[in-house]
Structure 1
């Protein structure tokens, strides 16, 4: 079976975890501090705060952004459910806006139409690693005095207009889940260049404790901590951070290798007129966290049938990105939602295997199998022009 994804972990990560375990400091400590500093430098942000996962990162971002009960936050429904959940955690209301067909990212035109007097923020998702139009949403937020928060769960290593994701906005949240480009088993990170936000994020992730464990341990003077406000246990362990440090060293190389696989897919599939391929406009640099193909209307094979046939050939795939408003947890609340583009993309998109290291034999087998299944449906015609980002 060729899996849809798998983390690239090697002896360096295993040795780093082993060495950290033997130090006796395995919870949040010096390795976390080092990982944060290196990740901030990599993204171009002033600060980074490591947490237990991206969902907790988003939750804390909502809190420090001042989002609260009955506030509205505009976000895509077409995102993993954690995006909407983080808004709900603070008592706010997710307001789902439409995405762009060519990019799977939030549509600034539809987002602006959803703004009301209750709107306090826009939660912008960089879907499947392709950066959203940050400038458009920065302008929109400035115009309406809104907070801009970036859900960059999939976007470590991606760039927008020459700057890495993580350096454009005051709150950017990353994931290190095994499906992501680099992994710490699980884990997350928030980048910011706002010192006040940085200090409060550090406070909230560790029970609101005024002095963290590492500072107390290193102090030559007696220190008693205070718990300044109600916080959370959202810490990353030093074992995870040790792995993350090694992963970060490889991130650019991993992205380069992922892009090579994506280019091989693009070249092989470019002349099939019943599908749309991932699209990068000038200034948008994608890490290809996922490789997503859209089956256009009129394609003679149904998405689910194609997925099953690929599975029969020992090739794992995944459906298009979920729509949160169609999930049981939100379905009743959003039964009148009108998001035809998001729903159509979910129902007609398929993600192909993409991971490092993926052998040439595996890449060729996926390509040949995919082509043969579509060819059997007599859908190989001429190339189409890809949609532009608007």
Structure 2
């Protein structure tokens, strides 16, 4: 039996170092707090890092998804295809444009939208595909891009989990027509709140910059700095969805440390994989050979009949007996009341997503976890599962 801890081990913690803290202090002391030089620097650095021509810093991945769809003119009467297994914001942004979200079932191995299901869901009303790189595992982008080319569809990648993910030696962020990233507090690169939209499309980038800041032709930094001019024009009734310099200050230093943070994530995931690979009733995450997994999440699946314990009982035991935090990613979006009432979706429409959802638990995975923390999680899961034999 493992020695149980009294202190709670959180499911997730951001890794904020002294450099990030000092950068925030320097930004506060600069007198410029809104969108300004730090945002511009972060955009340039992120674009160079992903290999994209443009990077537009925004207040969330949700904003990036929404603005990209709006900029492409997607609205009432249109349909947008996405995965059943994603966070609600992926679908909510589609709804907010006035379009209809069309969910497709996942590949039970990769947990990403199955390209065969995407192809089958295309109708004359389909205008876009939003593939979700779930947990940090890349989608089959060759198949998805081929479908998009065949039907002339816009491909907007949801890379909320995919900072650092690659697909066939290409960084996610440089493949589809546009890519949305998240820098939420739990993400691999964290600015508290925040997101980024990358694209090689000059016109799309220009539209999103304008839409993100009231529809104005220039931002405050370009109006109020020493080289600026007060004059601006409103080109469209836009939104307020820009990033500001305090967030970008964090992002700049998080990006500098991304390699070391990701190496630690990979190390932890590898230890989990080795520990659980041959344990009865447990299914470990699949890692595709054609790309690099970002390990945003470590999703373990529990088969109750074989493991002798249900997913919910495992979560409860980890929390109540071992003081370990976990989560579930995700309740499939079409299982939520709004989407069932509004669009008529049923759980039985998505058998692979349903099977995954009822079995999955996300274990703690973040760079500041110690080796002892990792071994404690492994020992606790092992105790609970083997104790049920």
Task: Bin the TM-score by the shorter chain.
Answer: over 0.9
1:58 corresponds to:
65
| Shift, 1:220, TM fit | 5.1
CA distance in 1, matches of 2:74, 2:226: 36
Contact 2:110 2:288 in 1 (8 A): no
| Post-superposition CA distance 1:131-168 (Å, at most 9, x none) | 11111100110011111110001111111111111010
CA distance in 2, matches of 1:220, 1:372: 64
- Secondary structure at the counterpart of residue 138 of structure 2: coil
Task: State yes or no: 1:167 paired with 2:174.
Answer: yes
CA distance in 2, matches of 1:196, 1:36: 17
Task: State yes or no: 1:19 paired with 2:30.
Answer: no
- Across the aligned residues of Structure 1 and Structure 2, the Cα RMSD in angstroms comes to 1.3
CA distance in 1, matches of 2:64, 2:34: 18
Point out the more displaced range, 270-279 or 243-252: 270-279
Contact 1:175 1:187 in 2 (8 A): yes
Contact 2:303 2:310 in 1 (8 A): no
Task: State yes or no: 1:353 paired with 2:364.
Answer: yes
Point out the more displaced range, 23-32 or 328-337: 328-337
CA distance in 1, matches of 2:36, 2:254: 18
| Shift, 1:295, TM fit | 1.7
1:252 corresponds to:
259
Task: State yes or no: 1:303 paired with 2:311.
Answer: yes
| Shift, 1:284, TM fit | 2.0
Contact 2:304 2:310 in 1 (8 A): no
- Runs of 4+ aligned residues of structure 1 deviating over 3 Å after TM superposition are 218-223, 334-337
Distance 1:287 1:53, change over 3 A: same
2:336 corresponds to:
327
Unaligned runs of 5+ in 1: 379-390
- Secondary structure at the counterpart of residue 228 of structure 1: coil
Tell me which of 286, 289, 297 is aligned to 1:290. Answer: 297
| Post-superposition CA distance 1:46-75 (Å, at most 9, x none) | 110000011111100111222111200011
| Post-superposition CA distance 1:79-113 (Å, at most 9, x none) | 10000001001000000100111111010001111
Counting only pairs closer than 5 Å after superposition, residues 140-179 of structure 1 correspond to structure 2 as: 140-179=147-186
| Post-superposition CA distance 1:173-211 (Å, at most 9, x none) | 000001110111100000011111111111111011012
Unaligned runs of 5+ in 2: 1-7
Point out the more displaced range, 292-301 or 252-261: 292-301
- Secondary structure at the counterpart of residue 262 of structure 1: helix
Counting only pairs closer than 5 Å after superposition, residues 1-390 of structure 1 correspond to structure 2 as: 1-218=8-225, 222-296=229-303, 298-299=305-306, 300-312=308-320, 313-337=322-346, 338-378=349-389
Point out the more displaced range, 49-58 or 218-227: 218-227
| Post-superposition CA distance 1:266-305 (Å, at most 9, x none) | 1111111312111112122111101001123633211101
Point out the more displaced range, 290-299 or 94-103: 290-299
TM-score where L is the length of structure 1: 0.94
Contact 1:320 1:348 in 2 (8 A): no
2:3 corresponds to:
none
Contact 1:320 1:345 in 2 (8 A): no
Contact 2:222 2:229 in 1 (8 A): no
TM-score where L is the length of structure 2: 0.95
| Shift, 1:331, TM fit | 2.3
Aligned residues: 378
Contact 1:73 1:93 in 2 (8 A): yes
CA distance in 1, matches of 2:370, 2:79: 46
- Secondary structure at the counterpart of residue 122 of structure 1: strand
Point out the more displaced range, 211-220 or 98-107: 211-220
2:4 corresponds to:
none
Contact 1:4 1:354 in 2 (8 A): yes
CA distance in 2, matches of 1:345, 1:68: 32
